[in-house]
Amino acid sequence: MRRISIITAALLLTAACSGGEPDEAADTAEPACDPALTTGLSHWADAGFSGSLALGGAEGLSCLAAFGTADAEEPNTPETVFAIGSVSKAFTAAAVYDLVDAGALDLGDRAGSLVPELGGPAAEATVEQLLLHTSGLTGSHGEDHAPLDRDEAIAALSALETAFEPGTDYLYSNAGYTILALIVDEQARERSGSSYRDYLAEEILTAPGGERLGGFWDGEPAAPGPRAVGRTEAGPAASVGDFAGPHWAMSGNGDLAMTPADLATWTSLLFAGEIIAPGAVEELRGTAFDHGDGSTEIPGWVALDAEAFGTPVVMSAGGGGDTGHEAVVAWLPDTGAVLTVASNTDGVAAGELLEAIGPALAAGEPVPAPEGGAEADPEELRAAEGVYRLDSGGTFTVTAGDGALSVAADGADAAAALFSSGDYTAEDVAAHEDAVLSLLEGGTDLGDEERAAAEDTVGPITSVALAGTAVEESELRTYVRIEGEDGSVLAWYALDGQGGLAGVWLGAEPPVFTLVPTGGEGAYRQEDLSGAGAGLRVTFAGDLMSVDGPAGAAEARR
């Protein structure tokens, strides 16, 4: 599972929830949110937010609300279940500390001593390094929702290499958390003849009163309740929770599902010392890697200091992949307040919503309305359709959709003109593009492997040309045109922070940017709200398409 960026959820917690009667226009259930909050959130539902949220604290839940639809017909409700992606790592970490508290293992134990079949650098990683993503392990051990049994997972994990000396740096690793799941599995087998899934369900997902809080997205024990279907512009998401397994590609790193209400309840119980012992919680919070930017990695979570938001916050976030869901949870140590949000569309994803409304709530101001949000005129949308060419050679192919314009940017100049992100700077983009081009020059094992894969399609490579970069599924993807003696192909590559390959697609289509009307004549903005503040604006007037964004002004003609 890919991790999404940590955003300003803490701000919402300090100002949003005070109880009250539900807004009649909002789809809510008791306990209801403050009417002003539900009214403000309903505007974001109009702008594309589909999902639910829960707020609470040590005394229990105090606010539940749901918006949008779970599938083609049924609405989201507080009982709707969402895949929580990488938030699952918080549960894996809790299981590990439960075993540490029981004396079954130590943080300094090497993985190979706990899972005897494990080999390679993975076997030398310590439990603490795996928890903090400091093992240096790089690469993937399997594809999401693709069958992978325990033995196959161990073989793939044993083949992973390291990007740096273990314990000296940080590199986010799904594989590391699957190794932790294997450690839990091994201990469960030795202690009771059970399994990783049994241990999670019985010891970590179960509240003190015996209530099961959530479960697994695929397989048993499943999270009970109706499930949201992820939806993107391409249609319903591929994963709806019916994958039969075996599930070891995602075990420990992104396999759980639940309602935001259950996630909020579990988080409160965890930090109160009611899921694992208080001493285990204290040790978890004390195991840390300082990122040096006001954020500190703790197992399964990221702790943000008070300088960033005025109060400390501990957060976990996950999403992307083929479920089409995002989830985020934030807990405030000073007050015990907790907030969870989950979404099932990319119109306004959970993290985007909180990033957009958090600052105003922190200042005690009303929830701001989405920028623009004007109703689209179908005739105006159709009038903008066509192929627009920049003087520098790139093209924009504009297609009218349901309330928005889809713009395929063909060429590095076209993609750069439409690039706008709240998470990545121009320097980030340039560094990523340089790294991708360097990779495809070959000369490293990974680079030679990727060149060979491309040459299977185009023959011996004659040139590689940059075709632009876009943010898709919360990651940078750099597009390149690869020319060979037998043809050419457009491909995109996504690299992690250490230059490892996070994703690749040969035979890609040009990146597509979605524009929504702002209310002005022929005026549009980027649909992705996380980058809306970067100021991208597009105007159509006759045959002229004008773009004004972080990269500067550009004009293209039809």
Note if the pTM is more than 0.85.
no
Give me the CATH topology for the region 9-19+28-362: Beta-lactamase (3.40.710)
Residue 18 confidence (pLDDT) above 70? no
Whole-number average pLDDT of the chain? 87
Which pLDDT value is given to residue 33?
74
Which pLDDT value is given to residue 56?
83
Residue 535 confidence (pLDDT) above 80? no
Which pLDDT value is given to residue 367?
64
527 vs 303 pLDDT, higher one: 303
Residue 223 confidence class, pLDDT cut points 50, 70, 90: very high
First vs last Cα of the chain: how many Å apart?
41
Output DSSP code: residue 445.
H
Mean of pLDDT values over 7-15: 34
Residue 95 confidence (pLDDT) above 70? yes
528 vs 73 pLDDT, higher one: 73
Mean of pLDDT values over 248-274: 97
Residue 312 confidence class, pLDDT cut points 50, 70, 90: confident
Could you tell me if 459 and 486 are in contact, meaning their C-beta atoms sit under 8 angstroms apart?
yes
- List, for residues 33-52, the tens digit of each pLDDT value: 777 777 777 777 877 789 99
Residue 16 confidence (pLDDT) above 70? no
- List, for residues 375-424, the tens digit of each pLDDT value: 678 899 999 999 999 999 999 999 998 888 999 999 999 999 999 876 67
Structure tokens at 375: 């109703």
Could you tell me if 518 and 403 are in contact, meaning their C-beta atoms sit under 8 angstroms apart?
no
Residue 519 confidence class, pLDDT cut points 50, 70, 90: low
* 470 dihedral zone (left: phi>0; alpha: psi -120 to 50; beta): beta
243 vs 551 pLDDT, higher one: 243
Which pLDDT value is given to residue 512?
92
- List, for residues 166-209, the tens digit of each pLDDT value: 999 999 999 999 999 999 999 999 988 999 999 999 999 999 99
Residue 14 confidence (pLDDT) above 60? no
Residue 11 confidence (pLDDT) above 50? no
Mean of pLDDT values over 488-500: 91
Q: What percent of the chain has pLDDT over 70?
A: 88
Could you tell me if 499 and 510 are in contact, meaning their C-beta atoms sit under 8 angstroms apart?
no
Which pLDDT value is given to residue 26?
36
471 vs 88 pLDDT, higher one: 88
33-42, 537-546, 549-558: least confident range: 33-42
Residue 470 confidence (pLDDT) above 60? yes
**Residue 30 CB: number of other CB atoms within 10 A?**
11
Cross-strand bridge partners of residue 52? 66, 342
Q: CA 131, CA 125: separation in Å to the nearest integer?
A: 10
Provide the residue type at 4 as one letter.
I
Mean of pLDDT values over 234-256: 93
Residue 27 confidence (pLDDT) above 70? no
Residue 371 confidence class, pLDDT cut points 50, 70, 90: low
Residue 497 confidence class, pLDDT cut points 50, 70, 90: confident
Cis peptide bond prior to 31, omega within 30° of 0:
yes
Residue 348 confidence class, pLDDT cut points 50, 70, 90: confident
Which pLDDT value is given to residue 76?
94
Q: CA 169, CA 163: separation in Å to the nearest integer?
A: 9
Could you tell me if 85 and 326 are in contact, meaning their C-beta atoms sit under 8 angstroms apart?
yes
Which pLDDT value is given to residue 21?
34
Which pLDDT value is given to residue 358?
52
Could you tell me if 252 and 87 are in contact, meaning their C-beta atoms sit under 8 angstroms apart?
no
Which pLDDT value is given to residue 48?
79
Could you tell me if 199 and 183 are in contact, meaning their C-beta atoms sit under 8 angstroms apart?
no
Mean of pLDDT values over 281-292: 97
Residues 6+ apart with CB under 8 A from 484: 454, 455, 457, 458, 459, 460, 461, 462
Residue 19 confidence (pLDDT) above 70? no
Residue 520 confidence (pLDDT) above 90? no
85 vs 339 pLDDT, higher one: 85
423 vs 137 pLDDT, higher one: 137
Q: CA 29, CA 469: separation in Å to the nearest integer?
A: 42
Task: Cite the beta strand spans of 198-241 per DSSP E.
Answer: 215-216, 231-232, 235-236
Residue 100 confidence (pLDDT) above 90? yes
Please give the C-alpha separations between residue 476 and each of 24, 45, 124, 420, 503, in angstroms, as whole numbers: 41, 27, 31, 12, 10
Domain with CATH 3.40.710.10 in the chain: 9-19+28-362
